[in-house]
Amino acid sequence: MARKTKKKKKGTDSLYHLIGADDPEVLIAHQPTKESTDELLSSLRQLHISSEYSDFGIKCSEDMYKVHKAVICPRSSFFHAVFENETQERDTAEVDLSEHDGTSVRLMVYFCYHLDYPHVKLDGTFGNQVVSGYQHTQETSNLSHHCRLYALADFCQMEGLKMLAVSNFRKEAEIHWNDPDFFEAIQFVYAATVSSDRTLRDAVVDVMMKHPTLLDRQEFKDLLKEIDLAHEMLLKIHERGLSCYWR
Please answer whether residues 118 and 70 qualify as being in contact, where contact means their C-beta atoms are separated by less than 8 angstroms: no
Cβ contact 156:76 at 8 Å: yes
Q: Are 148 and 104 in contact (CB under 8 A)?
A: yes
Which of the four pLDDT bands, split at 50, 70 and 90, describes residue 23? low
Q: Helix or strand or coil: residue 176?
A: helix
Give the global pTM: 0.80
Mean pLDDT for all residues in the chain: 84
| C-alpha gyration radius of the chain | 23
Give the tens place of pLDDT for each residue, 37-95: 889 999 999 999 999 999 999 999 999 999 999 999 999 999 999 999 999 999 999 99
> Which of 89-98, 146-155, 218-227, 235-244 shows the lowest mean pLDDT across its residues?
235-244
Compute the average pLDDT of residues 172-200: 93
Instruction: State residue 9's pLDDT score.
Output: 45
Q: How many CA atoms lie within 13 A of 167 on its CB side?
A: 10
d(CA 31, CA 41) in angstroms, rounded, equals: 15
For 231-247, how does the pLDDT look when each residue is reduced to its tens digit (9 = 90+)? 787 777 757 665 555 44
Percent of the chain with pLDDT over 70: 78
Q: Which residue ranges form the domains of the chain, and what is each CATH number?
A: 45-99 (3.30.710.10)
User: What confidence score (pLDDT) does residue 24 get?
Assistant: 57
**Is the CA virtual torsion 67, 69, 75, 80 positive or negative?**
positive
CB-based contact 134:119 (threshold 8 Å)? yes
pLDDT of residue 132 exceeding 60? no
Banded model confidence at residue 8, pLDDT cuts 50, 70, 90:
very low
The per-residue pLDDT for 121 is 82
Question: pLDDT: is 37 or 137 the higher one?
Answer: 37
